[in-house]
Amino acid sequence: MTRLLRLEKGNEDALKGENSEIINGVAYEKPELDEAHKDIVRYLHAASSRYVLTHRPLDKLAMPHDPLVIDSEVLPNTILRPEIAMQIKDESFPAWVVEIASEENMEVAYLEKMNIYMAAGVKEYWVIDPVKQVILSYNFMKNPWIPAIYDSPQRIKVSVYKDYFISYSEIFKDRSEEE
């Protein structure tokens, strides 16, 4: 569901739920994450938290779905809620952002947000498709238009760091049996 909305004083409540975003003044509801999607977010957040604690204590890892306000010069009236947003020490905007794609938000995740994050200064943007078990990794500093595509078990480098790798197998691991 979309509705036109201007972010002005008095309508800060535009982001009512954890799943709402605003792109250029238009409010969008992100699809509700199923358990597989939530497992991916929990794994990535836990792995990234461990990495920051042990290797990069001055970096900041936002909580999943924390609002991320895009500079009005890049795209006015825009607030996104990425699943993962990692900010390097003194930088004012996240260097690495991860979004989970689903059938309902393919165009937004693969096209609109890629362009927004690139224009906003994000260095690396991942789109994870849990159904197809594919990860697209855009390195905006090296080759912004051609993503690295990961669709088989391997270690995936988070390129904004020298020594941070994430396991493809762990991202897509079935955790439903572990409880």
pLDDT band at 25 (very low <50, low <70, confident <90, very high): confident
Whether residue 46 is contained in a domain is answered as yes
Whether residue 15 is contained in a domain is answered as no
Residue 19: is its pLDDT beyond 90?
A: no
Supply the CATH number for residue 65's domain.
Answer: 3.90.1570.10
**pLDDT for the residue numbered 140:** 96
Residue 9: is its pLDDT beyond 60?
A: no
**pLDDT for the residue numbered 82:** 94
**pLDDT for the residue numbered 43:** 96
Tell me the DSSP string of the chain.
Answer: -EEE----TT-GGG--STTEEEETTEEEEPPPP-HHHHHHHHHHHHHHHHHHHHH-TTSEEPPTT--EEPPTTTSSS-EE--SEEEE-TT-SS-SEEEEE--GGGHHIIIIIHHHHHHHHT-SEEEEEETTTTEEEEEETTTEEEEEEEE-SS-EEE-TTSSS-EEEHHHHT---TT--
Whether residue 27 is contained in a domain is answered as no
Total domain count for the chain?
1
* Domain encompassing residue 93: 32-171
pLDDT band at 6 (very low <50, low <70, confident <90, very high): very low
Choice between 31 and 121, residue whose per-residue pLDDT is larger: 121
Whether residue 59 is contained in a domain is answered as yes
**pLDDT for the residue numbered 11:** 45
> What tens digit of pLDDT does each residue of 67-126 get?
899 988 888 889 999 999 999 998 889 999 999 998 888 888 888 999 999 999 999 999
Whether residue 38 is contained in a domain is answered as yes
> What tens digit of pLDDT does each residue of 35-81 get?
989 999 999 999 999 999 999 999 999 999 898 999 888 888 899 99
Whether residue 22 is contained in a domain is answered as no
Average pLDDT over residues 16-38: 83
pLDDT band at 15 (very low <50, low <70, confident <90, very high): low
Whether residue 179 is contained in a domain is answered as no
Whether residue 18 is contained in a domain is answered as no
